[in-house]
């Protein structure tokens, strides 16, 4: 029987060296999915679930078999799973849709859930003023450059991608809360709420923050956190949204 709750998780970064043991994190995520499916109406994966994912025409990355199997099992049971691309798992085509039954979103989604309006996105590229990041994002989203990248053997591309990811974090790619005026996702929400004033919840990943910021009397900006430090998730029970930490091991 379909449940009534909606679950959100983001920024697991499976395969990253930031995990002491990435496979153990994958196992924990699978246990969380089993926990969520008991009363889930839907599950939202808000990007960067994988630290690196690149689909060739007939080949997908090695590993993640526990997670892919669990997602397929839950999807087959009738619970919809929505997958939003992040800035680490941009390069997917149709594998997760066709093999695992996921509903893939490449752009932000404005939707209604149980009478509440949600703006849902990974969060990268929304009002971020960093010229370097915006340039990189444009390059990473280029279909031509993706085609060029696909001609290189994975023995080089996978190592390069993980090295790039680790270097980014060492250089301070993830920062603590910067304050209302400097958090670009809060600034984006302020701009968007002028255009769409009836949004109840902005739900983002990307920043690795566990954050519930009240924008006005009606609207909250939620950042889901991550599964590197926080093991956090979002839960909408049909009336209100809250942040939780998964501690059942």
DSSP assignment of 46-113 equals -S-SBS--B--SS---S--HHHHHHHHHHHHTT--EEEE--SSS-B--SHHHHHH--EEESS-EEEEE
Q: Distance (Å, rounded) from C-alpha 16 to C-alpha 137? A: 20
CA–CA separation, 11 and 89 (whole Å): 10
Taking only the tens of pLDDT, the chain with its 249 residues reads 578 999 999 999 998 888 889 999 999 999 999 999 999 999 999 999 998 777 777 777 777 899 999 999 999 999 999 999 888 777 778 889 999 999 999 999 999 999 999 999 999 878 666 665 566 556 665 666 666 666 666 666 666 655 655 655 554 556 788 888 889 999 999 999 999 999 999 999 999 999 999 999 999 999 999 999 999 999 999 999 999 999 876
φ, ψ for residue 148 (rounded to 5)?
-65, -45
Distance from C-alpha of 210 to C-alpha of 203, rounded to nearest angstrom: 11
pTM: 0.87
CATH of domain 5-245: 3.60.21.10
Report the distance separating Cα 119 and Cα 108, nearest Å.
Answer: 7
């Amino acid at each position: 029987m379909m449940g009534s709750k909606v679950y959100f998780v983001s920024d697991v970064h499976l395969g990253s060296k930031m995990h002491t043991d990435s496979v153990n994190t994958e196992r924990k995520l699978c246990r969380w999915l089993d926990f969520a499916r008991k009363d889930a109406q839907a599950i939202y994966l808000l990007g960067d679930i994988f630290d690196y994912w690149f689909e060739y025409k007939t080949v997908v990355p090695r590993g993640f078999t526990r997670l892919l199997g669990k997602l397929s099992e839950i999807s087959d049971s009738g619970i919809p799973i929505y997958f939003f691309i992040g800035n680490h798992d941009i390069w997917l085509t149709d594998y997760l849709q066709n093999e695992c039954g996921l509903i893939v979103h490449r752009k932000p989604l404005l939707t209604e859930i149980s009478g509440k309006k949600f703006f849902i996105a990974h969060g990268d590229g929304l009002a971020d003023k960093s010229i370097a990041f915006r340039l990189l994002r444009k390059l990473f989203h280029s279909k031509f450059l993706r085609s060029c990248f696909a001609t290189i053997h994975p023995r080089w591309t996978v190592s390069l991608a993980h090295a790039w990811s680790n270097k980014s974090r060492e250089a301070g790619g993830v920062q603590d809360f910067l304050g209302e005026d400097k958090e670009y996702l809060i600034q984006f929400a302020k701009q968007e709420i002028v255009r769409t004033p009836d949004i109840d919840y902005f739900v983002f990943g990307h920043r690795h923050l566990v954050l519930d910021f009240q924008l006005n009397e009606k609207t909250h900006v939620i950042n889901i956190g991550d599964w590197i430090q926080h093991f956090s998730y979002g839960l909408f029970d049909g009336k209100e949204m809250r942040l939780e930490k998964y501690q059942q091991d």
